[in-house]
Structure 1
Amino acid sequence: MAVVALLATGIPVQAQDTGQKAPAIESVDQAVAKLVEEDVVSGAVILVSEDGKVVHLSAIGDANIDAHKPMTPDTMFAIASMTKPITATALMTLVEEGKVNLDDPVSKYIPEFANVKLDGKPLDKPITLRQVLTHTSGLGGDQRVVKSLENTGKVLAERPLRSVPGTKWEYSPGLNVAGRVIEVASGKPYAEYLQETIFTPLKMNDTTFKPTDEQKPRIATLYAKDKDSGELKENSSWIGNVETDPYPNPSAGLYSTARDLQRFYQMMLNGGFLGDAKILSRDSVKELTRLQTGDIVTGFTPGNGWGLGYCIVQQPQGVTAALSPGSFGHGGAFGTQSWADPVKGRIFLLLVQRSNLGNSDGSDLRKEFQNAAAAALNE
């Protein structure tokens, strides 16, 4: 744990790209280092920005324990469901172009959805794109892509619904439906469309569904807590596994870095642009990040609602207490977290690789990190 001890003293690490020392806040490193030392995670990359400037960036612990390979600021992570907001944002670019309407029936793009049934009976009203983006479509079950998005759309259309669309929130493969709609409306493969529309303009050079041979050595190893020994052991998952699941997954497939994700969320905080890159209009950003689910109770922590692909903090409390009402973001299956606070102009990024963490959105790791960062910035 030499790396942890070093960083807990507040000694900054090297920032990616510039070769300059990255800023570090000692109390933030200490909060995360404590949980690394307790073997909650093998290590972490954490980033905090305020008003468009990175005010904290550090890498703590190991990317691979057995190899004694330290985390670095440019370590790459499987971000799992943090992919969902990016997919929704890509779809919104097609809404701006007039190629898609959020209240269109899904069947306009995936004809098989015209035959969706609930309890064996046809629906009174068709499932809409807005509903698949807010997890209120009635769809449920696993979020894997089977063979292709075209095929997956057909498979999901045959899956029995769990509730009347628009009446209940249930975490779902709805963003995979959105990914297929992107293909149909744009005439391009989903991953290619994201690359051209978001990643290249924002210079998110380490955000990909398929890491290159040059990038692979920078990927953090996934760990899980052994139930008997309590030790962290290497683990595997279909999420991000390009061998078993080679098809780009709009719900869970991306790899990325702290710097890349900061650029994406800063674009959102800016109202759709970053530097010379304009991704969306301000109105589209507002639509993505406004409450869409009304009084419907949503997951994964109290006081939340749902926007279009984004979780929205409505009444900050508990793990979200450091955020302002209207903050938006998403977590991932392996403990990753990304949250943007439009009131205070802040971004909080926590990148780790840990399975069986439980509800990572409600984790102590997230809470301690965000609280320490907010306390330091509020001084």
Structure 2
Amino acid sequence: MTGKGNFQELTEFLDGVEKAFGVPACDCILAKDGEILYRHRAGSLKNSGETGKETYWLYSATKIATCTAAMQLMERGRLGLDDPVGKYLPEFEALRVRRTDGSIYPAGRKMTVLHLMTMTGGLDYDLSRPGLRAALALPERERTTQRIVRALSEDPLLFEPGTRFRYSFCHDVLGAVIEVAAGQRLCDYMREFIFAPLGMEDTTFHPNPRQRARMVKQYAHSDDRGTLTDWNQDNEWRFGDEYDSGGAGLMSTVEDYIRLLSALSLGGALPGGERILRSESVKKMATPRLEGVALEDFWNRSAAMKGYNYGLGVRVLVDGRGIASPPGEFGWDGAAGAYALVEPINHIALYYAQQVYSCPIVYQKLHPALRDTVWRCLKKETERKGIK
């Protein structure tokens, strides 16, 4: 364990997650100003004798990296928030929308990059959609990112782009857009322009045998009592070696992913390191974007999001009443329980990893409790420096 003293409350919290939430192993890392302030591995990892470089599927925490890549391309003039998706993927030029009565009509709005990044594109996460199902039946060598994503355009949207919020394949489509704009595979682009510059050697869409061998065992909760069952050790959103899921496909370690989060907390660069984003771009990512019914949709997805809005791929805290984080905190989570937090005022970054699928209590209770415990400890630890 790194960090003692004022972090005792956090250590006790993490040591108790197995009993309180049915999570057999977790790993938590905290950084300030790009330096590791605290690290603790609990449950079966606590005395495992492993190196601390265990790998985890990030699932939707991948989205932070994907949106970072999109922001980089905007800085280079290769991509624009208001660009129609059809500019990069022609199949998305003439979309259709299904009304609630089942009738279908031509979409009156063009889907844009902004709609993808804010999850307002009108897509969903339904693997049974006919177009997607047909694409997933192709031989693996043909299941490329762009081929699979193009199939999503074949089925009607749930609503006109830009009018509602729906968690969906939007960031997978964004990944395909990035490929076209950058002229290279998403996995290659991220390795060259994000992972290598930040020294993230174990972050990948396509783990090698050594990385897979270090993966923490993945479970699922099979009922409301938190009964653990073995889960497929692969990632169900990874549709083969030719597919790079911008929404859920990355594997990483806590030591790796904290580097990306720390860079964002510092305005786009680690101390003494290569800049991956301008500070203005980080601010744009963390600018609240939803209003009206779309914001209601976002809040209705999870009670834990009250007080938050949604930016470009990240939750953004706008109302801190009853929440320990300062307004402006942003981040996201993942389907097996990952939790990422970036706080740019005090240059704080937090990453928590576990491998338990179908575990709603993690999002409703564990993550908020973890966040608030971290801030209580930070305020004790840095009182003389002044946490705002």
TM-score band, normalised by shorter chain: 0.7 to 0.9
CA contact (8 A) 1:95 1:101 kept: yes
What letter corresponds to residue 39 of structure 2 in structure 1? L
Q: CA deviation at 1:228?
A: 9.2
The 1-side partners of 2:316 and 2:258 are apart by 18
Kindly tell me: are residues 209 and 240 of structure 1, through their superposed partners in 2, closer, same or farther at Cα, counting changes over 3 Å? farther
1:207–1:158 Cα change, 3 Å: same
Q: 1:167 to 1:267 in 2, by over 3 A?
A: same
Secondary structure of 1:92's counterpart equals helix
Distance 1:339 1:228, change over 3 A: closer
Local SS of the residue matching 1:166: coil
Tell me the SS of whatever aligns to 1:118: strand
- Cα deviation for residue 110 of structure 1 reads 0.5
**How far off its partner does 1:268 sit?**
0.8
Q: Which residue of 2 aligns with 1:42?
A: 24
The Cα shift of 1:152 comes to 1.9
2: CA distance, partners of 1:37 / 1:141: 32
1:70 Cα shift?
6.1
Match of 2:123 in 1: 139
**What is the one-letter code of the residue matched to 1:151?**
R
Secondary structure of the corresponding residue to residue 376 of structure 1: helix
Matched ranges for 1:170-209 at <5 A: 170-209=166-205
Letter matched to residue 343 of structure 1: I
Give the match for residue 281 of structure 1. 278
Summarize the Cα distance change of 1:248–1:329 in structure 2 as closer, same or farther, 3 Å threshold: same
Corresponding residue for 1:329?
331
Q: 1:69 to 1:211 in 2, by over 3 A?
A: farther
2:92 matched to 1:113? yes
The correspondence of residues 23-172 of structure 1 with structure 2, limited to 5 A, is: 23-24=3-4, 25-38=7-20, 40-62=22-44, 69=48, 73-119=52-98, 120-142=104-126, 146=136, 147-172=143-168
Deviations 1:103-153 (A, max 9, x none): 010000000111211132222221101001100111113378941111122
Which whole-Å CA distance do the structure 1 matches of 2:175 and 2:126 have between them?
15
Distance (Å, rounded) in 2 between the aligned partners of 1:234 and 1:359: 18
Kept in 2: contact 1:60–1:71 (CA 8 A): no
1:303 to 301, 307, 310: 307
After superposition, where does 1:208-357 map in structure 2 within 5 Å?
A: 208-227=204-223, 231-236=227-232, 239=235, 245-246=240-241, 247-274=243-270, 275-295=272-292, 296-297=294-295, 298=298, 299-300=301-302, 301-316=305-320, 321-357=323-359
> Which residue number in structure 1 is paired with residue 367 of structure 2?
366
- The Cα of 1:63 is off from its aligned counterpart by 5.2
- Label 1:288 to 1:241 Cα distance change in 2 as closer, same or farther (>3 A): closer
Q: Is the 8 A contact 1:44 1:352 kept in 2?
A: yes
Q: RCO greater where, 1 or 2, for CA within 8 Å and sep 6 or more?
A: 2
Cα distance in 2 for partners of 1:53, 1:123 equals 49
Three-state SS of the structure 2 residue aligned to 1:259 is helix
Q: Which structure 1 residue ranges, 5 or more long, are not aligned?
A: 1-11, 13-21
TM-score (normalised: structure 1): 0.86
Q: Which amino acid aligns with 1:79?
A: L
The TM-score, its normalising length taken from structure 2, stands at 0.84
Measure the CA separation in 2 of the matches of 1:106 and 1:241: 22
- Say if 2:34 and 2:259, in contact at 8 Å, map to a contact too: no
Distance 1:204 1:228, change over 3 A: closer
Alpha-carbon separation, structure 2, partners of 1:137 and 1:324:
30
Unpaired segments of 5 or more residues in structure 2? 99-103, 137-142, 381-388
SS in structure 2 of the partner of residue 26 of structure 1 = helix
**Displacement of 1:155 after TM fit?**
0.9
DSSP 3-state at the match of 1:115? coil
Distance 2:232 2:356 in 1: 10
How much does 1:94 deviate?
1.0
Native 8 Å contact 2:337 2:357 kept in 1: yes
State, as a whole percentage, how many aligned pairs show the same letter.
Answer: 29
Which whole-Å CA distance do the structure 1 matches of 2:309 and 2:148 have between them? 27
Which whole-Å CA distance do the structure 2 matches of 1:372 and 1:73 have between them?
Answer: 23
Structure-1 separation of matches of 2:184 and 2:226: 46
- State the distance in 1 between where 2:168 and 2:224 align: 32
Aligned residues: 352
The change in CA–CA distance for 1:240 and 1:272 in structure 2 (over 3 A counts) is farther
Amino acid at match of 1:51: D
Deviates more, 1:183-192 or 1:303-312: 303-312
Give the superposition deviation at 1:225.
2.8
C-alpha distance in structure 2 between counterparts of 1:337 and 1:207, whole Å = 16
- Give the superposition deviation at 1:35: 1.8
3-state DSSP of counterpart to 2:335: coil
